Chain A
Amino acid sequence: MTTAPDLTHLTAVQMADGLASGEFTSVELTQAHLDRITALNPVLNAFLQVDIDGALATAADVDARRAAGEELPRLAGVPIAVKDIACTQGIPTTAGSRTLEGWIPPYDATIVTRLKDARMPILGKTNMDEFAMGSSTEHSAFGPTRNPWNLDRIPGGSGGGSSAAVAAFLAPLAIGSDTGGSIRQPGAVTGTVGAKPTYGGVSRYGVIALASSLDQIGPCARTVTDAALLHEVIGGHDPMDSTSIDAPVPPVVEASANRDLTGLRIGIVTELTGEGYQDGVQARFDESVQLLRDAGAEIVEVSCPHFRYAMAAYYLILPSEASSNLARYDAMRYGLRVAPEGVESPSAEQVMASSRDAGFGDEVKRRIILGTYALSSGYYDAYYGQAQKVRTLIARDFEAAFEQADVLISPTAPTTAFKIGDKLEDPMAMYLNDIATIPANLAGIPGLSLPSGVADEDGLPVGIQILAPATQDQRMYAVGAALEALLAQQWGGSGSVLDRAPEVTTGAVSEEAK
Chain B
Amino acid sequence: MSALSRDDVAHVAMLARIQLTDAELDRLAGQLDQIVGWVGQVNEVAADDVPPMSHPLPLTNVTRPDEVRPSLTAEQALANAPEAELDRFSVPRILDED
If A323-B16, A348-B92, A353-B19 touch, does A428 touch B34 (CB 8 Å cutoff)? yes
In the complex, how many angstroms separate the beta carbon of B90 from the nearest chain A beta carbon?
A: 9
CA distance A452 to B52 in the complex (A): 37
Say whether B39 contacts A383, CB under 8 Å: yes
What residues of B have a CB within 8 angstroms of the CB of A389 in the complex? 42, 45, 47, 50-53
Q: How large is the interface on B (under 10, 10 to 19, 20 to 34, 35 or more residues)?
A: 35 or more
Task: Please choose the segment from A55-63, A187-195, A327-335, A481-489 that sits at the chain B interface, where 4 or more of its residues have CB less than 8 A away.
Answer: A327-335
CA distance A382 to B96 in the complex (A): 37
Interface size on A, residues (CB 8 A): 72
What residues of B have a CB within 8 angstroms of the CB of A390 in the complex? 42, 45, 47
If A330-B17, A357-B18, A382-B43 touch, does A370 touch B57 (CB 8 Å cutoff)? no
Say whether A315 contacts B39, CB under 8 Å: yes
What residues of B have a CB within 8 angstroms of the CB of A103 in the complex? 80
If A352-B17, A353-B19 touch, does A213 touch B39 (CB 8 Å cutoff)? no
Select the residue from A242, A331, A351, A389 with max chain B CB neighbours within 10 A. Answer: A389
What residues of B have a CB within 8 angstroms of the CB of A388 in the complex? 52-54
What residues of A have a CB within 8 angstroms of the CB of B51 in the complex? 389, 392
CA distance A351 to B47 in the complex (A): 42
In the complex, how many angstroms separate the beta carbon of A176 from the nearest chain B beta carbon?
A: 19
In the complex, how many angstroms separate the beta carbon of B93 from the nearest chain A beta carbon?
A: 6
If A365-B18, A366-B31 touch, does A393 touch B45 (CB 8 Å cutoff)? yes
Say whether B35 contacts A315, CB under 8 Å: yes
Q: Which of B34, B42, B50, B91 contacts A312 (CB 8 A)?
A: B42
Consensus secondary structure, chain A interface: helix
Say whether B76 contacts A366, CB under 8 Å: no
Say whether B82 contacts A199, CB under 8 Å: no
Task: Please choose the segment from A72-80, A218-226, A290-298, A339-347 that sits at the chain B interface, where 4 or more of its residues have CB less than 8 A away.
Answer: A339-347
Q: Which of A339, A365, A386 contacts B43 (CB 8 A)?
A: A386
In the complex, how many angstroms separate the beta carbon of A380 from the nearest chain B beta carbon?
A: 11
What residues of B have a CB within 8 angstroms of the CB of A346 in the complex? 92
In the complex, how many angstroms separate the beta carbon of A322 from the nearest chain B beta carbon?
A: 11
Say whether A373 contacts B57, CB under 8 Å: no
Say whether B50 contacts A340, CB under 8 Å: no
CB proximity to B under 8 Å, residues A274-316: 306, 309, 312-313, 315-316
Q: Is B68 an interface residue (CB 8 A)?
A: no
Q: Is B7 an interface residue (CB 8 A)?
A: no
Say whether A386 contacts B20, CB under 8 Å: no
Select the residue from A107, A315, A443 with max chain B CB neighbours within 10 A. Answer: A315
In the complex, how many angstroms separate the beta carbon of A235 from the nearest chain B beta carbon?
A: 15
CA distance A382 to B42 in the complex (A): 8
CA distance A385 to B94 in the complex (A): 34
Q: Is A444 an interface residue (CB 8 A)?
A: yes
Select the residue from A199, A239, A347, A428 with max chain B CB neighbours within 10 A. Answer: A347
What residues of A have a CB within 8 angstroms of the CB of B57 in the complex? 199-200, 243, 245, 444
Q: Which of A348, A374, A427 contacts B94 (CB 8 A)?
A: A348
Say whether B89 contacts A333, CB under 8 Å: yes
What residues of A have a CB within 8 angstroms of the CB of B20 in the complex? 357, 365
Say whether A309 contacts B41, CB under 8 Å: yes
What residues of B have a CB within 8 angstroms of the CB of A360 in the complex? 18
Q: Is A475 an interface residue (CB 8 A)?
A: no
In the complex, how many angstroms separate the beta carbon of B23 from the nearest chain A beta carbon?
A: 11
What residues of A have a CB within 8 angstroms of the CB of B80 in the complex? 103-104, 106, 333-335
What residues of A have a CB within 8 angstroms of the CB of B31 in the complex? 366, 427
Q: Is A71 an interface residue (CB 8 A)?
A: no
Q: Which residue of A lies closest to B52 (CB)?
A: A388
Q: Which residue of A lies closest to B75 (CB)?
A: A106
Q: Is B79 an interface residue (CB 8 A)?
A: yes
CB proximity to A under 8 Å, residues B14-49: 14-21, 24, 27-28, 31-32, 34-36, 38-45, 47
CA distance A242 to B60 in the complex (A): 9
Say whether A369 contacts B47, CB under 8 Å: no
What residues of A have a CB within 8 angstroms of the CB of B43 in the complex? 382, 386
CA distance A372 to B20 in the complex (A): 15
Q: Is A395 an interface residue (CB 8 A)?
A: yes
7 contacts between A and B (CB under 8 A): A347-B96, A357-B21, A385-B52, A388-B54, A390-B47, A444-B57, A445-B56
